[in-house]
Structure 1
Amino acid sequence: MQSVVMGLLAGLVGFASSFAVVLAGFAAMGASPAQAASGLTVLCALMGGLGIGLSWRFRMPVSVAWSTPGGALLAASAAPEGGFPAAVGAFLVAAGLVVAAGLFRPFARAVEAIPRPLAAAMLAGVLLDLCLAPVRAVGGIPWLALPVVGAWAVMLRLNRLWAVPAAVAVAAAAFLAGPGLPAGLGWSAPSLEFVRPDFHWGAVVGIALPLFLVTMASQNLPGLAVLRANGYAAPLGPALVATGAGSAAGALFGGQLVNLAAITAALCAGPEAHPDPARRWVAAVVAGAAYLGFALLAGTATAFAAAAPPLLIQAVAGLALLGALAGALRAALAEEATQVPAVACFLVAASGLSVAGIGAAFWGLLAGGALWWGLGAGRAPPR
Structure 2
Amino acid sequence: MGRVLQPVLAGVVTAVIGFGGAFPVVLSGLRAVGADEHQAASGLLVVSVASGLVAIVLGLRTRMPISIAWSTPGAALLLSAGAQPGGFPAAVGAFLLCGVLIVVSGLVPALARLVAAIPAHLAGAMLAGVLLPLCIAPVHAVAEIPLLAAPVVIVWAVLARFARRWAVPAALVVAVVLIAVTGPGLSGIDLAPVLVWTPPSFDVATLVGVGLPLFLVTMASQNVTGMAVLAQFGYRPKLGPILGATGVGTLLGAPFGGHAVNLAAISAALAAGPDAGPPERRWIASVTAGAGMIVLGLGAGAATAVILLSPPVLVSAVAGLALLGALTSSVAAALADEQGREAAIVTFVVTAAGVGFLGIGGAFWGLLAGGAMALLHRRRARPDADQPASPRLASSGAISGSRPRKAR
2:208 match: 205
User: Where do 4+ consecutive residues of structure 1 move more than 6 Å?
Assistant: none
Letter in 1 for 2:338: E
Q: What TM-score, normalized to structure 2?
A: 0.91
Which position in structure 2 is the counterpart of 1:194? Answer: 197
Partner of 2:307: 305
Alignment of 1:1-383 (within 5 A): 1-185=5-189, 188-275=191-278, 277-376=279-378
Work out whether residues 137 and 320 of structure 2, in 8 Å CA contact, stay in contact via their aligned partners in 1.
yes
SS in 2 for 1:259: strand
Specify the SS of the correspondent of 1:263.
coil
| Structure 1: gaps of 5 or more residues | none
Contact 1:73–1:211 (CA under 8 A) maintained in structure 2: yes
Q: CA RMSD in A?
A: 1.1
Amino acid at match of 2:354: G
Q: Which amino acid aligns with 1:322?
A: L
Shift of 1:325: 0.4
**What is the DSSP-based 3-state SS (H/G/I as helix, E as strand, rest coil) of the residue aligned with 2:81?**
coil
1:295 Cα deviation after fit: 1.6
Q: Secondary structure at the match of 2:256?
A: coil
TM-score normalized by structure 1?
Answer: 0.97
Aligned partners of 1:33 and 1:59: how far apart in 2? 38
CA 1:158–1:79 in 2, change beyond 3 Å: closer, same or farther?
A: same
Contact 1:88 1:252 in 2 (8 A): yes
Determine the C-alpha separation between the residues in 2 that align with 1:184 and 1:150.
32
Identity in percent: 53
- C-alpha distance in 1, partners of 2:127/2:192? 35
Distance 1:327 1:285 in 2: 27
CA distance in 2, matches of 1:137, 1:108: 40
1:211-249 Cα offsets, whole Å, 9 max, x none, are: 011111100001001111111121210000110011011
Distance 1:378 1:330 in 2: 26
**Is the 8 Å Cα contact of residues 338 and 377 (structure 1) preserved in structure 2?**
no
Whether the 8 Å CA contact 2:186–2:305 is kept in 1: the answer is: no
Distance 1:26 1:52 in 2: 26
Counterpart of 1:65 in 2: which secondary structure?
Answer: strand
Native 8 Å contact 1:10 1:287 kept in 2: yes
Contact 1:189–1:299 under 8 Å retained in 2: yes
Aligned pair count reads 377
Report the CA distance between 1:182 and its aligned residue: 4.7
Distance (Å, rounded) in 2 between the aligned partners of 1:55 and 1:378:
46
Determine the C-alpha separation between the residues in 2 that align with 1:296 and 1:28. 22
SS state of the match for residue 183, structure 1?
coil
Q: Distance in 1 between matches of 2:55 and 2:156?
A: 29
